[in-house]
Amino acid sequence: MKKRVLFYLFFAVFGSVGAQTPCQHIDDYSLAIMGSSVPSGTGADAGKGYAQLFQKYLENNAVNEWKVTNISIPGNNTTDVMNRWNTDLLPACTRYVYYGLSLGNEGIHEKGQSAFDSWRDNMQTLINRAREAGKIPLIGNNYPRGDFNSTDYNYVKQLNLLIHEWDVPSVNLLGAIDNGSGQWASGYVYDNAHPNTAGHAEMFYAIVPSLMDALAAGKPQPVKKQNSSLVLVKGNTVQRIAFTPENILHSFTLTFSFKTTDIGTLASFVTEGGDTARLILNSNGRLTYKSQVSAGFLNDGNWHTVSLTHYYAQGKTQLYIDGARIARTNPETEKLVPIKFFLNDFDNAPQYVEYRELFFHRSGMCAEEIAALYQGKLLKSSLEIYAPLDVVSEKDVLYNSAQSLNMLDIEENNILNGLDETRFDKNQKFKGMTFYSLLGQKLFHTTDNNFNCSRKLLAGVYVVKIISEQGEVTSKKIVVE
């Protein structure tokens, strides 16, 4: 009798004996997806749920050979997942676990704040439980429902802002499929609780493609880097920063800060159809993206932050300046599929521009998220690129600290883009000259007309900007041997 009582006590506390059998081997490239009906694929054609699409991508395109197990159960909330954690997740013997759970199943529409609190607190418990078991957790943030109202939507956005800053990799699913009111975008609905096949595809595109490989390589969470910037000067050559999104891209948010007193193209991207869209400081110093034009001039020598966010499912692109939304005078609909992005421009670059903190998210962003970025928050859900543009070391200037394997490049055009070296009249009074590295890092300034640069510079190629008293400028490339 005592043995039977002890056995029942063990079962009640620890679950089934089989569930507690230690894994003989845990593959370093193994992932369990543990959630509810949406990650299980409900609403999509067979094999085309967002989690299934991610599984296929990992198995066919990733650097490492990944093994993915989907143990999602329709209807589950955070309490359900906690209750079956020992019996379902531990026997899967995976190194990583992705939690895909919704506020809808938590009862946000009926319970409000208590559902918000339980999802937040239980998810933190699930994250900690994974780490205590030697697993690496990831989470999907909260997404729409067809019956959400404005109160529900505010809870979703509030919780997602918290998730952005948690020390765990996460995916901005809301920004992939939101209609702007917390419901599924039109044409992407299966039923109130689920997106259709096209909607699942949008959610898949929000996952950073190389996220798992970056985690397996030990790449840590990014850390905010301040007080660094990159200067680009147009001379005999002009440079631009370039990057190519990983895999197919639909919804996105491009954010960067700049400072200049000139005009020209600050950023652009090329779509799969061969079109080029541009963010331009026009002749009045106003920043423009198609029909969206800033109210004031921005070439005032002060720092400004630009965010361009595109919701593919909505067919809407929105420009924000310094956290404020710019009116769309012509609310055109566009569904963009960008294939390459640029900071600065070969044909129409400002004469002198300074950039700092380049962000690229694989998801659209709501006004609250854009405001948080402008306020200096590091939002990490679906973050594919975060380049602080740190010029302290030239090898780090283009380093991408986001948890992805994507990289940035500096491209250079050797054509004299409108600068006439002969326009500097040597009879004009010399005022000074400034020396820059080819990456745009300002090295030093001198007013000595007879300055011997070889005494101060190591052997290499540099750009020098010569200024007369009349304000005339000559920019040229020099070689120090």
Q: Does domain 10-216 have CATH number 3.40.50.920?
A: no
Average pLDDT over residues 430-443: 70
Most confident of 331-345, 371-385, 412-426: 371-385
Mean confidence (pLDDT) of the chain: 88
Q: 18: burial class by Cβ within 10 Å (0-12, 13-18, 19+)?
A: exposed
Report CA 184 to chain centroid distance, whole Å. Answer: 22
Residue 481 has pLDDT above 90, yes or no: no
pLDDT confidence tier of residue 11, bands split at 50, 70 and 90: very low
Average pLDDT over residues 281-287: 95
All CATH 3.40.50.1110 domain ranges in the chain, comma separated: 10-216
Residue 352 has pLDDT above 90, yes or no: yes
Q: What is the pLDDT of residue 74?
A: 97
pLDDT confidence tier of residue 5, bands split at 50, 70 and 90: very low
What's the maximum distance between 2 C-alpha atoms anywhere in the chain?
Answer: 109
Residue type at 223 in one-letter notation:
V
All CATH 2.60.120.200 domain ranges in the chain, comma separated: 230-413
Q: Is the dihedral of CA 269, 274, 277, 281 positive or negative?
A: positive
Which CATH class, in words, describes the domain spanning 230-413? Answer: mainly beta
365-382 b/e (C-beta count within 10 Å ≥ 16 → b): bbeebbbbbbeeebbbbb
Q: What is the pLDDT of residue 270?
A: 96
Residue type at 92 in one-letter notation:
A
Percent helix, strand, coil in the chain (nearest 5)? 25, 30, 45
The structure tokens listed for 47 are 């094999």
Q: What is the pLDDT of residue 438?
A: 60
Q: What is the pLDDT of residue 33?
A: 98
- Say if residues 163 and 210 touch (Cβ distance below 8 Å): no
In this structure, the chain runs to a length of 481
Residue 112 has pLDDT above 60, yes or no: yes
Specify the residue for token string 């093994």: 67
**For 305-341, what is each residue's pLDDT tens digit?**
999 999 999 999 999 999 999 998 877 789 999 999 9
